[in-house]
């Protein structure tokens, strides 16, 4: 099967600082990919490159068999992107915002409103369709953001911390939605710091640290012992294991003497 | 109004298609942007628009102000004997007005980094995005275009007929395009040659300058211009004016209406004809592409720039030695000191605070210079010195009111969640910080200048003026609703009878100043009054410091 995403020697620099180091990946369609890594590892940078938002990189990236630099428009038509922060035009209402997003994907207004209505109903936001989003809670905005990323029925979906700000019920719902999307043959690239969720929903986990892929495979393949969790694996592979001592050092600060200069 | 603009844009759909733009996407983006504009908080006001109203009462006031400004420039242009010279002045004013409006009121829209997350991942052509940005700015400016140019259009139509009027409208529109180009160019240069953080800071300082200038400029500029012989000059013959785009526009007028076809006028007119369109091409082409790319760096937190090494912006650096020294001296409790330091940091780093506070701080010194340096020789009197001292003292003291407001007002939870017994200690700490950091130095400078230019015997008068103004302001401040430091949104500045409070303060200061003037020949009365004023201030500050939670209004 042809990979839906093919990344070859991907490198990215910010000024003289290299943040991605020769990343090579092939991603098959219909998979949920857990893309994880510590803060500043390069996850969001990779996603922005794949989503066609940053063309300033070295290497080759192909999505749907198309070069991302040359065919950005075609790729964007078939993919959805849900950013890390709830970036919305808050002074608009969900109806206005989703009409904007849907029309940019060339959907008819009728279809946009029908889909948006149905999706927002699932998220219990039907009654808020005509309220300005600057009055919404973080969770409500996140739900609108999720709907906006999925409205045009994309084949490939990039989700950067999609559960941010959601309550427990909404988290369960979104996890089910992701599984359901995968069942429909869609590919989901899922970035998160929530290891528990990544472990449960991902078919394949890619762990990135310091701009390099340090682990790649199904969780069952990656874990070394039967009782291992992804959290444990994550800390081992990213070089952080002495949490007990660190925690003790933290609490010991209460009992330390005052510094001389105070 | 938005529908009309969108309808007009849609009339050009065949042209947009030929240019490689998707008209459906273009209209969709414009519709959303214009809807947001209608609900956006304007930099000219503290309030936010109602949801369902396109034009609020405040908009009408703004429209009237713009018409008035256009009227002033029109009158000025009419005073010049040579009509094209009048147009040079008029179009210069118009282009400057566009530039300042875009920078002061539209920067946040121009550099809206949310576009990168919402629009960039969507299948939109670069040209569509670029043109939507340009048309958005142009539509925004068209709202200003009509009121500003209304009077001049009527004058031209009345004096020279319909054809001349149409030409004038076209020239004013070309002026608008030039203004848009110059702002885009300025931002591109700033983004290109500075880090994103620096860019934000430069724009903030630029905004502050323009905002201050708009407040005090009308006092200064007319006094600075030497009008001698200006009304007789032909500015089109002035070589220095040839470099100004408004001269090129006036040259088109001179060529077509006055029928002057000399080589100089023809070249200038040609430059005027070509420049806006060449500029437009550059804006939608290379400039916008580079702009978007650089904007992306801005959106991603400026990670392109390297972190500054060995530079710790903490309260322990030498930069804050003065703050630490004065805090130790001025604050009597840990809570007071915390608020003192917080106010010191925020007032120096918060863009929204600086934008609101600095123009008000600068206002008084500028008035001071206006009064002093433009007085005829021998006109200066002790009465005038006392007026300046009292006016400065009361207006400076009243700016401490700004410490209650912030865009990040919700962060004031930090005061609520901590075991603070007397919130007055916090407000007092902030009040002292503003006094030490800004108000005392500003007042001392003014007092020193008054003494140098008038008489050093005014030193005790200056001290008394400040103490009396403070003792008037403190009870006024305590008589109204109290807030925690940086705990209210800026919209609340205009609420709560603050205008009445300001007027009462001015009235009180004027009365004190008058009394001061009458007793000023008797130094012992001044010294006695200083002792009494110190006592009044002491009790006032003590009472303010004891402010309890029952007087504090909840967070915004």
Please indicate whether residue B125 or residue B319 has the higher confidence score (pLDDT): B125
Question: Would an 8 Å CB–CB cutoff place A104 in contact with chain B?
Answer: yes
Question: Would an 8 Å CB–CB cutoff place B32 in contact with chain A?
Answer: yes
Phi, psi of A234 (to 5 degrees): -60, -50
Tokens of B105: 């009121």
Residues of A in contact with B118 (CB under 8 A): 87-89, 101
Please indicate whether residue B293 or residue B540 has the higher confidence score (pLDDT): B540
List the 274-293 stretch of B: residues with Cβ below 8 A of A: 293
Question: Would an 8 Å CB–CB cutoff place A91 in contact with chain B?
Answer: yes
Tokens of B456: 């050093």
Question: Would an 8 Å CB–CB cutoff place A56 in contact with chain B?
Answer: yes
Between chains, do A105 and B305 touch, taking CB under 8 Å as contact?
no
Return the SS3 of A255: coil
Per-residue pLDDT, B309 = 44
Sorting pLDDT into bands at 50, 70 and 90, what band is B47? Answer: very low
Nearest CA in chain A to B40: A91
Query: What is this structure's pTM?
Result: 0.70
Query: Cα–Cα distance between B152 and B310 in angstroms, integer?
Result: 58
Number of Cβ atoms within 10 Å of the Cβ of B281:
12
Using CB atoms, which residue from A89, A105, A132 is nearest to B114? A89
Q: Helix %, strand %, coil % for chain B, to 5?
A: 80, 0, 20
Q: Which residues contact B459 (CB under 8 A, 6 or more apart)?
A: B447, B451
Q: Which residues contact B24 (CB under 8 A, 6 or more apart)?
A: A103, A106
Phi, psi of A27 (to 5 degrees): -120, 125
Return the SS3 of A204: strand
Q: Which of B75-89, B364-378, B458-472 has the lowest mean pLDDT?
A: B364-378
DSSP result, A15-59 = TTEEEEEEEEEEE-TT-EEEEE-STTSSHHHHHHHHTTS----EE
Using CB atoms, which residue from A16, A83, A100 is nearest to B28? A100
Q: For residue range B138-167, list pLDDT tens digits in order.
A: 888 888 888 999 999 999 899 888 888 999
Q: Which of A171-180, B94-103, B218-227, B531-540 has the lowest mean pLDDT?
A: B218-227
Q: Which residues contact A3 (CB under 8 A, 6 or more apart)?
A: A26, A27, A28, A29
Tell me B405's DSSP state: B
| Highest-scoring range by mean pLDDT, A76-90, A121-135, B95-109, B207-221 | A121-135
Between chains, do A53 and B124 touch, taking CB under 8 Å as contact?
no
Per-residue pLDDT, B14 = 92
Number of Cβ atoms within 10 Å of the Cβ of B158:
9
Between chains, do B122 and A104 touch, taking CB under 8 Å as contact?
yes
Inter-CA distances, B79 with B74, B75, B471, Å: 9, 6, 49
Please indicate whether residue B358 or residue B172 has the higher confidence score (pLDDT): B172
Interface test mutation site (partner B, options A49, A100, A262, max chain B beta carbons within 10 A): A100
ipTM score of complex: 0.77
What's chain B's average pLDDT?
79
Q: Which residues contact A57 (CB under 8 A, 6 or more apart)?
A: A10, A11, A12, A20, A49
Sorting pLDDT into bands at 50, 70 and 90, what band is A33? Answer: very high
User: What's the N-to-C CA distance of chain A in angstroms?
Assistant: 67
Tokens of B196: 């994103």
Please indicate whether residue B314 or residue A19 has the higher confidence score (pLDDT): A19
Average pLDDT over residues B464-475: 91
Residues of A in contact with B51 (CB under 8 A): 132
User: What's the N-to-C CA distance of chain B in angstroms?
Assistant: 33
Return the SS3 of A227: coil
Between chains, do A92 and B36 touch, taking CB under 8 Å as contact?
yes
Per the CB < 8 A criterion, the answer to whether B165 and B153 are in contact is yes
Query: Cα–Cα distance between A252 and A221 in angstroms, integer?
Result: 39
Per the CB < 8 A criterion, the answer to whether B336 and B422 are in contact is no
Per-residue pLDDT, B305 = 38
Using CB atoms, which residue from B36, B120, B122 is nearest to A89? B36
Interface test mutation site (partner A, options B117, B129, B290, B293, max chain A beta carbons within 10 A): B117
Between chains, do A79 and B121 touch, taking CB under 8 Å as contact?
yes
Average pLDDT over residues A165-191: 91
Per-residue pLDDT, B27 = 94
Between chains, do B121 and A52 touch, taking CB under 8 Å as contact?
yes
Residues of A in contact with B303 (CB under 8 A): 14, 19
Checking if the pLDDT of B550 tops 70, the result is yes
Nearest CA in chain B to A154: B122
Interface test mutation site (partner B, options A90, A91, A141, A161, max chain B beta carbons within 10 A): A91
């Amino acid at each position: 099967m042809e990979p839906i995403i093919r990344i070859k020697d991907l490198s990215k620099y910010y000024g003289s600082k290299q943040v991605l180091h020769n990343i090579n990946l092939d991603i098959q369609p219909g998979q949920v990919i857990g893309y994880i890594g510590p803060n500043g590892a390069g996850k969001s940078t990779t996603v922005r490159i794949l989503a066609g938002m940053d063309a300033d990189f070295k290497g080759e990236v192909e999505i749907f068999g198309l070069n991302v630099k040359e065919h950005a428009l075609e790729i964007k038509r078939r993919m959805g992107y849900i950013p890390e922060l709830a970036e919305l035009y808050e002074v608009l209402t969900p109806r206005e915002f989703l009409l904007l997003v849907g029309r940019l994907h060339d959907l008819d207004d009728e279809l946009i409103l029908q889909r948006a209505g149905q999706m927002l109903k699932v998220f219990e936001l039907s009654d808020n369709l005509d309220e300005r989003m600057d009055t919404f809670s973080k969770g409500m905005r996140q739900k609108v953001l999720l709907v906006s990323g999925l409205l045009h029925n994309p084949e490939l979906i990039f989700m950067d911390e999609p559960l941010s700000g959601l309550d427990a019920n909404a988290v369960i719902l979104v996890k089910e939605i992701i599984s359901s999307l995968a069942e429909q043959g869609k590919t989901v690239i899922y970035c998160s710091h929530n290891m528990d969720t990544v472990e449960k929903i991902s078919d394949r986990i890619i762990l990135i640290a310091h701009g390099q892929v340090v682990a790649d495979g199904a969780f069952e393949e990656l874990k070394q012992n039967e009782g291992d969790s992804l959290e444990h694996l994550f800390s081992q592979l990213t070089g952080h294991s002495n949490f007990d001592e660190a925690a003790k050092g933290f609490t010991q600060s209460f009992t330390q003497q005052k510094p001389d200069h105070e | 109004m938005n529908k009309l603009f969108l309808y007009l844009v849609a009339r050009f759909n065949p042209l947009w298609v030929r240019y490689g733009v998707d008209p459906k996407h273009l209209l969709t983006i414009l519709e959303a942007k214009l809807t947001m504009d209608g609900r956006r908080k304007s930099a000219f006001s503290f309030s936010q628009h109602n949801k369902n109203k396109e034009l609020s009462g405040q908009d009408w006031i703004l429209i009237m102000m713009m018409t008035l400004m256009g009227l002033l420039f029109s009158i000025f242009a009419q005073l010049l004997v040579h009509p094209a010279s009048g147009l040079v002045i008029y179009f210069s004013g118009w282009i400057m007005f566009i530039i300042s409006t875009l920078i002061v009121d539209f920067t946040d829209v121009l550099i809206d980094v949310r576009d990168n997350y919402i629009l960039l991942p969507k299948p939109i052509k670069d040209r569509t995005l670029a043109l939507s940005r340009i048309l958005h700015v142009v539509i925004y400016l068209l709202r200003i275009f009509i009121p500003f140019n209304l009077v001049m259009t009527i004058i031209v139509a009345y004096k020279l007929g319909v054809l001349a009027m149409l030409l004038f409208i076209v020239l004013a529109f070309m002026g608008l395009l030039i203004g848009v180009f110059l702002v885009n160019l300025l931002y591109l240069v700033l983004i290109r040659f500075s880090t994103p953080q620096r860019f934000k800071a430069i724009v903030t300082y630029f905004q502050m300058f323009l905002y201050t200038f708009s407040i005090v400029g009308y006092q200064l500029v007319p006094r600075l211009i030497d009008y001698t012989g200006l009304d007789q000059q032909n500015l089109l013959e002035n070589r220095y004016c040839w470099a100004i785009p408004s001269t090129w526009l006036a040259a088109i007028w001179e060529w077509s209406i006055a029928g002057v076809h000399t080589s100089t006028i023809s070249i200038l007119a040609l430059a005027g004809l070509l420049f806006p369109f060449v500029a437009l091409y550059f804006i939608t082409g290379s400039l916008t592409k580079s702009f978007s790319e650089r904007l992306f760096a801005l959106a991603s937190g400026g990670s392109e720039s390297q972190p500054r090494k060995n530079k710790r912006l903490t309260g322990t650096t030498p930069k804050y030695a003065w703050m630490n020294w004065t805090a130790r001296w001025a604050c009597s409790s840990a809570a007071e000191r915390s608020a003192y330091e917080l106010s010191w940091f925020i007032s120096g780093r918060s863009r929204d605070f600086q934008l609101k506070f600095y123009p008000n701080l600068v206002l008084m010194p500028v008035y001071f210079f206006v009064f002093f340096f433009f007085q005829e020789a021998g006109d200066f009197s002790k009465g005038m010195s006392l007026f300046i001292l009292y006016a400065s003292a009361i207006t400076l003291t009243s700016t401490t009111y700004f410490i209650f407001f912030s865009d990040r007002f919700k962060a004031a939870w930090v005061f609520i969640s901590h075991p603070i017994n007397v919130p007055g200690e916090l407000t007092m700490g902030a009040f002292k910080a503003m006094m030490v950091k800004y108000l005392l130095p500003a007042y001392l400078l003014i007092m020193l200048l008054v003494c140098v230019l008038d008489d050093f015997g005014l030193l005790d008068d200056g001290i008394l003026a400040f103490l009396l103004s403070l003792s008037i302001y403190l009870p006024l401040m305590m008589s109204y609703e109290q807030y925690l430091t940086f705990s209210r949104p800026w919209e609340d500045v205009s609420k709560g009878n603050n205008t009445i409070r300001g007027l009462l303060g001015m009235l009180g200061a004027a009365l004190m100043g008058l009394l001061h003037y009458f007793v000023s020949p008797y130094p012992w009365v001044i010294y006695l009054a200083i002792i009494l004023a110190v006592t009044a201030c002491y009790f006032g500050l003590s009472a303010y410091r004891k402010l309890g939670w029952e007087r504090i209004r909840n967070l915004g």
